[in-house]
Chain A
Amino acid sequence: MAKHIFMIDKRVANAIEATHDIPNGAKLMIGGFGLCGIPENCIAAILQKGITGLTCISNNAGVDDFGIGLLLKTKQVKKMISSYVGENAEFERQLLSGELEVELIPQGTLAERVRAGGAGIPAFFTPAGVGTEVADGKETRVFDGKTYLMERWLRADFSIVKAWKGDTSGNLVYKGTARNFNPMMATAGTITIAEVEELVEVGQLDPNHIHTPGIFVHRIFQGSNYEKRIEQRTISNSVIR
Chain B
Amino acid sequence: MLDKIGIAKRIAQEVRNGMYINLGIGIPTLVANYIPPSINVVLQSENGLLGIGPFPTEDLVDPDLINAGKQTITMMPGSALFSSADSFGMIRGGKVNLTILGAMEVSENGDIANWKVPGKMVKGMGGAMDLVASAQNIIVAMQHCSKDGASKLLKKCSLPITGLNCVKKIVSDLAVLDVLPTGGFKLLERAPGVTVDQIKNATEGKLIIEGEIPEMILA
Contact = CB atoms under 8 A, between A and B. Distances in A.
Interface in B153-175: 160-164
Interface in B84-113: 84-85, 87-89, 91-92, 111
A36 B64 contact: yes
Given A37-B64, A229-B63, A232-B66, A106 B129 contact: yes
Contact of A111 (B56, B72, B84, B123): B84
A232 B92 contact: no
Interface string A13-51: 000000000000000000001111100000000000000
A215 B9 CA distance: 50
A175 interface: yes
A7 interface: no
B133 interface: yes
Contacts of A177: 45, 47-49, 64-67, 81
Given A128-B92, A177-B47, A234-B55, A86 B66 contact: no
B37 to A, nearest CB: 16
B8 to A, nearest CB: 9
Contacts of A228: 63-64
Given A177-B65, A184-B83, A236 B55 contact: yes
B67 to A, nearest CB: 8
Given A36-B64, A128-B130, A177-B45, A107 B84 contact: yes
A130 B30 CA distance: 29
A122 interface: no
B121 interface: yes
A111 B71 contact: no
Contacts of A132: 129, 160-163
A60 to B, nearest CB: 9
Contacts of B87: 108, 111
B3 interface: no
B133 A127 contact: yes
Interface residues of A, number: 59
B88 A176 contact: no
B1 interface: no
Contact of A96 (B63, B88, B121, B134): B121
Given A128-B92, A233-B61, A234-B55, A107 B130 contact: yes
Contacts of A158: none
Contact of B84 (A82, A180, A234, A238): A180
B212 to A, nearest CB: 35
Contact of B124 (A104, A179, A233): A104
Contact of A130 (B26, B66, B123, B133): B133
B178 interface: no
Residue from B30, B64, B91 having most chain A Cβ neighbours under 10 A = B64
A36 B63 contact: yes
A104 B134 contact: no
A221 B61 CA distance: 27
A181 B84 CA distance: 6
A228 B62 CA distance: 9
B30 A240 contact: yes
B61 A235 contact: yes
Contacts of B88: 107-109, 111-112
B57 interface: yes
Contacts of A111: 83-85, 87-88
A180 B64 contact: no
A56 interface: no
Given A128-B133, A129-B129, A231-B66, 10 more contacts: A84-B125, A106-B128, A107-B127, A108-B127, A129-B133, A176-B81, A179-B48, A230-B63, A235-B57, A238-B55
Interface of A: 33-37, 59, 82-86, 92, 95-96, 104, 106-112, 114-115, 126-134, 164, 174-184, 211, 228-238, 240-241
Interface of B: 26, 29-30, 33, 45-49, 54-58, 61-67, 69-73, 81-85, 87-89, 91-92, 111, 121-130, 133-134, 160-164
24 contacts: A33-B47, A34-B66, A36-B47, A83-B127, A95-B121, A104-B124, A106-B128, A107-B125, A108-B87, A109-B129, A111-B84, A112-B89, A126-B92, A128-B92, A128-B133, A129-B133, A132-B162, A133-B160, A176-B64, A177-B65, A178-B64, A184-B85, A231-B70, A241-B26
